[in-house]
């Protein structure tokens, strides 16, 4: 790649920091899979910006992320590190930046899916709780139904006896009413007899009184005349 051409299309260095720890496809001979960008910056005693990559395969790089004894990044294998001047891979970095929004969009989709999974799990937990409550309610309803059936059986046993008791009570009430009526008539008869007897005695008393009174008056008159 022409250094001047790379410099012309180069973006601000800070924009490439978004690609750190991202997979990037590079035109490296013998490597067909993406590599990971691990470092962007200057190397000791080098005036040019470099990018450090982990090739992710042993003995396919040239170092372990170190240069002149200075460690810049860690690699998966001992010799899977590689430093490349930034201007030589400018187009590849720009292409990776252009594809970056898709990765972000995928991450957002994954986040939304995770949220949906979380909501689904929460709803499933709520559904399980509702099922448990339903089972408890069904159990309570069954127990109540058993009690209702027992109560109905008791009522079926008690109802004939209750009807018989009510019939006896009605009979006793009627008998009591008859006795009350007879008692009332008897009282009226007794009162009538007493009144009649009292009137008869009063009449006899008046007659006796009159009979006894006349001689007294005559005698008194006689005394007065004399």
188-203: pLDDT as tens digits: 888 888 777 777 766 6
| Alpha-carbon radius of gyration of the chain | 63
For residue 163, the surrounding DSSP H or E stretch is helix 90-225
Residue 159: predicted pLDDT = 80
Residue 116: predicted pLDDT = 77
CATH architecture of 3-99: Roll (2.30)
Cα dist from 189 to 92, 103, 179, 200, whole Å: 135, 119, 15, 16
Residue 222: predicted pLDDT = 46
Cα dist from 168 to 141, 162, 178, whole Å: 39, 10, 15
Q: Which residues of 16-44 are buried (b: 16+ CB within 10 A; e: fewer)?
A: beebeeeebebebeebeeebbbbbbeebe
User: Among 30, 29, 35, which residue's Cα sits nearest to residue 65?
Assistant: 35
SS3 category, 115: helix
Residue 201: predicted pLDDT = 67
Residue 83: predicted pLDDT = 95
Write out residues in the chain with pLDDT < 70, as ranges. 1-11, 101-110, 201-226
Integer Cα distance of 92 and 23 in angstroms: 11
Domain definitions of the chain by residue range: 3-99
Cα dist from 208 to 17, 203, 211, 220, 222, whole Å: 152, 9, 5, 19, 22
């Amino acid at each position: 790649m022409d250094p001047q051409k790379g410099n012309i299309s180069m973006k601000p260095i800070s924009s490439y920091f978004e690609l750190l720890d991202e997979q990037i496809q590079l035109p490296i001979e013998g490597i067909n899979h993406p590599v990971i960008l691990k470092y962007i910056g200057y190397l000791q005693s080098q005036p040019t910006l470099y990018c450090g990559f982990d090739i992710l395969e042993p003995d396919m790089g040239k170092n372990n992320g170190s240069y002149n004894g200075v460690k810049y990044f860690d690699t998966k294998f001992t010799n899977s590190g590689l430093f490349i001047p930034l201007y030589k891979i400018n187009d590849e970095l720009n292409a990776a930046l252009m594809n970056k929004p898709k990765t972000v969009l995928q991450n957002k989709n994954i986040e939304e899916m995770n949220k949906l999974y979380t909501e689904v799990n929460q709803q499933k937990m709520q559904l399980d709780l509702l099922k448990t409550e339903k089972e408890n309610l069904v159990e309570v309803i069954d127990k109540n139904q058993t009690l209702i059936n027992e109560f109905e059986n008791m009522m079926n046993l008690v109802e004939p006896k209750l009807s018989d008791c009510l019939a006896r009570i009605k009979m006793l009430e009627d008998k009591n009413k008859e006795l009350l009526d007879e008692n009332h008539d008897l009282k009226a008869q007794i009162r009538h007899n007493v009144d009649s007897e009292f009137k008869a005695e009063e009449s006899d008393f008046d007659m006796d009184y009159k009979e006894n009174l006349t001689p007294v008056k005559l005698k008194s008159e006689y005394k007065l005349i004399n």
